Amino acid sequence: GQNIDQPTEMTATEGAIVQINCTYQTSGFNGLFWYQQHAGEAPTFLSYNVLDGLEEKGRFSSFLSRSKGYSYLLLKELQMKDSASYLCAVKRHSNDYKLSFGAGTTVTVRA
Amino acid sequence: DTAVSQTPKYLVTQMGNDKSIKCEQNLGHDTMYWYKQDSKKFLKIMFSYNNKELIINETVPNRFSPKSPDKAHLNLHINSLELGDSAVYFCASSHQGAITDTQYFGPGTRLTVL
């Protein structure tokens, strides 16, 4: 089976940094995705990691350690519009059509 | 231009009715998906089609029947609706074989069964 764990909720202040952790135990690994989902809207793609290390994209960065089954999404210079749910998803095999999602982490940014 | 579109956005219906949700993508992708997101926000795959062929059929009641008339469309028909079917249903598409085959999601259809 697939086991993907994320914290349920996090709160941070505008301008601060927040790190959302994701640990996974899956039968196979071929990449990890992070999605952002605002309330009442569709998930939108943020980042993809398949090799160990840090991928930086503006204010958002994503890190992967395959040996530890661990990833994090780092949100810097938080803005109110970053209040959303952040979903971690794992693809198990290169020819696998399925993504296994974690339950998501709801981030609330306060002024 | 909307990349992945779904209709309707909201659907309120009585138990026992039959309803359909339509999905279209204009990204030229070859793979389409249906996901269900329940009240706890957990996103779970239901079906996947690649080039109109059913690839994934998770443990979903056979009251749910997907249909893909062509690569750009994947519709979901639900028979004999039950209270537990109330959820948000998301359509998504991707290009298999691409390096990341990122999935792009439609806006969702909020189904409420009364």
| pLDDT beyond 60 at A4 | yes
Residue B108 has pLDDT above 70, yes or no: yes
List of chain B residues whose C-beta atoms are within 8 Å of the C-beta of residue A43 = 43, 90, 105
- Report the mean per-residue pLDDT for chain A: 93
What are the backbone angles phi and psi of residue A38, rounded to the nearest 5°? -80, 155
The token pair at B26 is 């204009």
pLDDT value for B41? 80
Give how far the C-alpha of residue B3 lies from the chain's centroid of Cα atoms, to the nearest Å: 15
Q: What is the pLDDT of residues B37-90, one digit of tens each?
A: 988 788 999 999 888 888 877 878 999 999 999 999 999 999 999 999 999 999
State residue A24's pLDDT score.
Answer: 96
For the stretch A24-39, pLDDT in tens is 998 888 899 999 999 9
Put simply, whether A85 touches B (Cβ < 8 Å) is yes
Provide the 10 A C-beta neighbour count for residue A51.
8
The whole-angstrom separation of Cα B75 and Cα B90 is: 11
Q: Which of residues 34-73 of B touch A (CB under 8 A)?
A: 40-45, 48, 50, 55-56
CB-CB neighbours of B86 under 10 Å = 17
Tell me, what's the pLDDT at B42?
85
Cα–Cα distance measured from residue B103 to residue A71, given in angstroms and rounded to the nearest whole number: 19
- Residue-wise pLDDT for A48-80, tens only, equals 999 999 999 899 999 999 999 999 999 999 999
